[in-house]
Amino acid sequence: MELSIVIPTYNERDNVVAIASRIQASLPAGTGYEILFVDDSSDDTPEILKQLDKKDSHVRWFHRSNRRGLAQAVAEGIEASDSEYIIVMDADLQHPPEILPLIVERLRQYDVVIPSRFIPGGSDGGLNGWRKLVSWVARKLANLAIRRLRDISDATSGYFGLRRAVVDHIRLEPVGWKILLEILVKGKYRTVHELPYSFAVRDQGVSKMCLREQWNYLRHVARLLWTSPQDMRFILFCLIGAIGVVVNMKLLNFFINLGLWGDLQASCMASFLAMVHNFLLNNWLTWRDRSLAPGSLIKRFPPYLMVSCLGILVTGLTAKGFTLLGWDIYAGQFAGIVAAACWSFTLNNRWVWLLPAPSCEPAKLVVTQESVLEKVIDETVL
Ligand code: UDP
Ligand code: MG
């Protein structure tokens, strides 16, 4: 079988027959496909699926009696299928089945194919204003937190296709709804292709999105972040920097009370020791996967010190720039600290803690986006 279409259903009695027939009408005759409904319903959807299964040889389904979330349902559906390509979509016809042939076509070239609401030619007209805002915040948060998602416009889509190799031999343990996030963070793939589509208005039944699922989303992103050393680095670096400020202040207080040095000497000594403290913590935590080489601690300290001193210069210049423009110096200092943190992090990552080749970062991910859907359909299908 070439294609499995995995569809999670929760009380979709009025939609399952319609989606099965629209899928059949959309796929070219002779396509080897199955529709696998993963059903968590508490209404009579299972009865309707049983009838559908009898009538339509492409339909398969199973019921889960203890519901454990939408994403987990999809993960079980993927596991229960064995075709080369997998497409996941909702049952409520908000995801148009008419672009299925195009997704399959693109899967021959790309590892992951995501119909996107947010590239030119796409639209999320099927959501109301509030849901649009929540969805925007959720997407931006994931894009910002997880580097692999940065160039993907619709990483929270419930409509996507992938080659089986992407999820073979990985453990999917999603929390909540967004299985695509889990796959994009843990999966093995090199190319992602997005194509525009219009998210339709739900015709029958009601949405099951609720506040608890938004909380689960935050838990899911935090968990994915925690398991990704690359993405944790910047957060650890900033946290250590913040702890370093407290250490610096405490040391300054200690040296002043000691009464051995003047203010300037006490301040410089406190800053130097705080830098040593930050260096050791960064070596031990932030770049722990690159800090094993013998003698590396001694070798890395001078360039680290240099980067940190340049950071102080960046902060000073930014604060000065603000005052020259007539703006508040505290705002300038804060902007400078943010700029210096980014600057120092980048230099530390690419220079101070750089490992000799082969590169410590994974191979580059290529994300492409299709321009105008109608045009592409013309070229590929007609
Ligand atoms: N769904 C599910 N289990 C759940 C919640 C939803 O299988 O716990 C299914 C639902 O039947 C639909 C899809 O997931 O096929 C998307 O759900 P919904 O339309 O309620 O979400 P929305 O489109 O409003 O985000
Ligand atoms: Mg829906």
pLDDT along the chain (382 residues), means of 10: 96 96 96 97 96 96 88 96 97 96 97 97 86 92 92 96 96 93 95 96 87 93 86 92 94 92 89 94 90 79 94 90 92 90 92 69 81 51 39
Is 91's C-beta closer than 6 angstroms to any atom of ligand 1? yes
Give nearest CA residue, ligand 1 atom 18: 207
Region for residue 30 given its phi and psi (left: phi exceeds 0; alpha: psi -120 to 50; beta: otherwise): left
Phi then psi for 162, rounded to 5 degrees? -155, 160
Model-wide pTM > 0.85:
no
Q: Which ligand is nearest to the CA of 14?
A: 1
How many angstroms separate the alpha carbon of residue 78 from the centre of ligand 2? Answer: 20
Q: Which ligand is nearest to the CA of 43?
A: 1
Cβ-based neighbour number of residue 132 at 10 Å: 14
User: According to the model, what pLDDT value does residue 229 have?
Assistant: 76
CB 87, CB 4: distance < 8 Å: yes
CB 255, CB 277: distance < 8 Å: no
Query: Which residues, listed in sequence order, are joined to residue 8 by a DSSP beta bridge?
Result: 38
Statement: 3-227+363-381 belongs to CATH 3.90.550.10: yes
How many angstroms separate the alpha carbon of residue 91 from the centre of ligand 2? Answer: 8
Burial label, 354 (beta-carbon count in 10 A; 0-12, 13-18, 19+)? middle
Is 6's C-beta closer than 6 angstroms to any atom of ligand 1? no
Is 73's C-beta closer than 6 angstroms to any atom of ligand 1? yes
